[in-house]
Amino acid sequence: MITVIGSGRVGATSAAFLMLGEVDNKITLIDIVEGLPQGEALDMNHAAAILGKSVEVVGSNSYEDMKGSDIVIVTAGLARKPGMTREELAGKNAEIVIGVADQIKKYAPNSIVIITTNPLDAMVTVLYNRLKFPRNRVIGFSGVLDSRRMAYYASKYIGVSPASVIPLVLGQHGENMYPVPELSSVYGKSLKAFLTEEQYNKVVNDTIQAGAQITNLRKFSSNWGPAAGLLLMADAIKKDRKAVIEASVLLDGEYGVKGIFAEVPVVLGKDGAEKIIEVDLNEEQKAKFMKSIDAIRANLKQVPPQYLQ
Segment 219-268, tens digit of pLDDT: 988 999 999 999 999 999 999 999 999 999 999 999 999 999 999 999 99
Catalytic residue among 173, 179, 215, 225: 173
Q: For residues 104 and 117, what is the distance between their CA atoms, to the nearest angstrom? A: 15
pLDDT of amino acid 259: 96
pLDDT of amino acid 89: 73
Sequence-distant (≥ 6) Cβ neighbours of residue 214 within 8 angstroms = 221, 222
For the 2-140 domain, the top CATH level (class) is: alpha beta
Coil, helix or strand for 296? helix
* Fold category of 143-308 in CATH: L-2-Hydroxyisocaproate Dehydrogenase; Chain A, domain 2 (3.90.110)
pLDDT of amino acid 82: 67
Q: For residues 106 and 95, what is the distance between their CA atoms, to the nearest angstrom? A: 17
Other CB atoms within a 10 A radius of the CB of residue 33 amount to 12
Same fold, 2-140 and 143-308: no
Establish whether 46 is a catalytic residue.
no
Question: Domain ranges in the chain?
Answer: 2-140, 143-308
- Count the residues in the chain: 309
